[in-house]
């Protein structure tokens, strides 16, 4: 077991009834010899809390559970977890979603990459999650994960092919990756590995974002504060559960009637708020918006064949866009309608 692992504290956040995922992740990282795990209970129901308490009783020294009476969202939950680990004396923080199971050698490979880069706190790493298409393209094809200004909900006209329907899933992954360590511009929380000094230099996730795009904003803030962010392909992290917006068989999730409307609202509102921050050419942004919203309407009408649904969904999207541009953040009550 790598003695350096003792300097690493895992931070993870759970909500609802995801106890089976949490147990799998906790057991996986404990086998790696991490110093401690900070598990934020983000307003879980009483029955789940009983299971979490049993988990803590099994590893009383290694597992610290921080209970929150209400769900603070991913931004608030990770802010609490990071602050707790920092105050507890963690030298390195390794952020994992409650369904991120690292492979057995993932932490050793992160630590090895950190040494390879010169053991400088400026270097921030993120483990490779094969379920993420952009990460696959980065490590196997060298496609940089880059921040692009003037996008509209992540769309830019130079990426017009992204609006086309996905004909097939990616096949089996080749091995080994051609780009084992590649610089990137942003990353998700899940797999993020950073030195404690970043809490002092860049602060905590912005709790006002509540859900979605908060990890984008946080890692962009790290980079803007001087971090060198790298995707570490050998440190593989398996996703036990797919997020609604990255499921491979779902194109245009914004107009999928099965998507939870509250999640949709926060995803769009927060992205709009961020994109306004990085706006440099208004005309390009408006062109991207016109193309993207037009495609959404067309897809919805063709796929659902329900003009009323399309109208209601576009109303929700428009409300979220307006709130984002006006800076109405935090946990807000949605207007009636879907």
Integer Cα distance of 320 and 329 in angstroms: 10
Integer Cα distance of 205 and 83 in angstroms: 10
Q: What is the pLDDT of residue 247?
A: 52
pTM of the predicted protein model: 0.90
Summarised one tens digit per residue, pLDDT across range 46-69 is: 999 999 999 999 999 999 999 999
> Tokens at residue 208, please?
């006002």
Strand partners, 238: 101
Summarised one tens digit per residue, pLDDT across range 11-26 is: 999 999 999 999 999 9
Integer Cα distance of 139 and 161 in angstroms: 21
Q: What is the pLDDT of residue 336?
A: 42
Q: pLDDT tens, position by position, for the chain (338 residues)?
A: 688 999 999 999 999 999 999 999 999 999 999 999 999 999 999 999 999 999 999 999 999 999 999 999 999 999 999 999 999 999 999 999 999 999 999 999 999 999 999 999 999 999 999 999 999 999 999 998 999 999 999 899 987 765 555 554 555 666 777 899 999 999 999 999 999 999 999 999 999 999 999 999 999 999 999 999 999 999 999 999 876 555 544 567 888 898 889 999 999 999 999 999 999 999 999 999 999 999 999 999 998 889 999 999 999 999 999 999 999 999 876 544 43
**CA separation, residue 177 to residues 117, 135, 171, 172, 321 (Å):** 18, 11, 15, 12, 38
């Amino acid at each position: 077991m790598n003695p350096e692992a003792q300097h690493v504290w895992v931070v993870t956040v759970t909500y609802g009834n995801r106890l089976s995922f949490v147990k799998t992740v906790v057991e996986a990282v404990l086998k790696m010899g991490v110093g401690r795990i900070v598990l934020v209970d983000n307003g879980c129901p009483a029955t789940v809390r009983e299971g979490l308490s049993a988990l803590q009783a099994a590893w009383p020294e290694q597992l610290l559970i921080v209970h929150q009476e209400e769900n603070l969202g991913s931004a608030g939950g990770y802010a609490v977890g990071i602050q707790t680990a920092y105050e507890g004396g963690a030298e390195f923080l390794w952020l994992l979603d409650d369904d991120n199971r690292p492979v057995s050698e993932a932490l050793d490979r992160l630590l090895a990459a950190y040494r390879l880069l010169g053991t400088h706190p400026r270097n921030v790493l993120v483990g490779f999650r094969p379920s993420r298409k952009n990460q696959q393209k980065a490590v196997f094809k060298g496609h940089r994960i880059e921040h692009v200004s003037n996008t509209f909900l992540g769309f830019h006209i130079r990426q017009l092919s992204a609006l086309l329907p996905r004909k097939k899933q990616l096949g089996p992954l080749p091995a080994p990756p051609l780009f084992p360590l590649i610089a990137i511009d942003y990353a998700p929380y899940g797999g993020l590995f950073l030195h404690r000094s970043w809490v002092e230099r860049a602060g905590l996730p912005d709790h006002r974002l509540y859900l979605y795009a908060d990890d984008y904003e946080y890692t962009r803030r790290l980079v803007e504060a001087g971090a060198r962010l790298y995707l570490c392909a050998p440190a593989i992290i398996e996703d036990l559960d797919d997020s609604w917006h990255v499921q491979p068989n779902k194109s245009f999730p914004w107009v999928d009637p099965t998507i939870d409307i509250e999640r949709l609202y926060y995803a769009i509102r927060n992205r709009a708020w961020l994109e306004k921050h990085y706006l440099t050419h208004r005309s390009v942004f408006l062109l991207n918006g016109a193309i993207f919203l037009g495609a959404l309407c067309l897809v919805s009408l063709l796929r659902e064949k329900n003009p009323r649904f399309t109208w209601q969904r576009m109303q929700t999207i428009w409300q979220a866009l307006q709130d984002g541009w006006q800076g109405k953040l935090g946990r807000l009550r949605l207007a009636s309608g879907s």
